[in-house]
Amino acid sequence: MEHNAEISENTQQESVPVMKRTIKDSVFTNLFKDKKYLIQLYQALHPDDKQTTEDDIKDITIYNDLGFSVGNRLLILIEAQATWTVNILFRILMYLVQTYREYFRVTEQDIYNSTKLKMPKPELYIIYTGNRKERPEEISFSEEFFGGEDICIDARAKIIYDGKEGDIIHQYVTFTKVCQEQVSIHGRTRKAIQEAIRICKDRNVLKEYLESKEKEVVNMMMELYDQEEVMRSYVKSKEHDTKVETAKRYLSLGKLSFEEIAIGSGLSIEEVEELAGLQLA
**How far from 1 is each of 4, 190, 210, 217, 225, CA to CA, in Å?**
9, 20, 11, 12, 23
Q: What gap in Å lies between CA 80 and CA 23, rounded to an integer? A: 11
Q: What gap in Å lies between CA 136 and CA 69, rounded to an integer? A: 26
Contact predicate 188/19, CB 8 Å: yes
pLDDT band for 149, please (50, 70, 90 cuts): very high
Q: What gap in Å lies between CA 20 and CA 236, rounded to an integer? A: 17
Q: Model confidence over 166-184: pLDDT tens digits? A: 999 999 999 989 988 988 8
Q: Model confidence over 201-219: pLDDT tens digits? A: 999 999 999 999 998 888 7
* 67 strand-pairing partners: 61, 77
Residue 281: pLDDT over 90:
no
Share of the chain above pLDDT 90, in %: 38
Q: Pairing between strand 156-160 and 138-140?
A: antiparallel
pLDDT band for 21, please (50, 70, 90 cuts): very low
Residue 228: pLDDT over 60:
no
Residue 160: its pLDDT value, please? 93
DSSP letter at 47 equals: T
Residue 6: its pLDDT value, please? 35
Q: Hey, which of 24-33, 140-149, 244-253 has the most confident mean pLDDT?
A: 140-149
Q: What gap in Å lies between CA 121 and CA 217, rounded to an integer? A: 34
Residue 216's CB: how many other CB atoms inside 10 A? 13
Residue 262: pLDDT over 60:
yes
* 179 strand-pairing partners: none
When the pLDDT of each residue in the chain is averaged and rounded to a whole number, the result is 83
Contact predicate 173/129, CB 8 Å: yes
pLDDT band for 126, please (50, 70, 90 cuts): very high
Q: What gap in Å lies between CA 265 and CA 212, rounded to an integer? A: 52
**How many residues comprise the chain?**
281
Q: What gap in Å lies between CA 87 and CA 133, rounded to an integer? A: 19
* pTM of model > 0.75: no
Contact predicate 6/221, CB 8 Å: no
Q: Pairing between strand 138-140 and 66-70?
A: unpaired
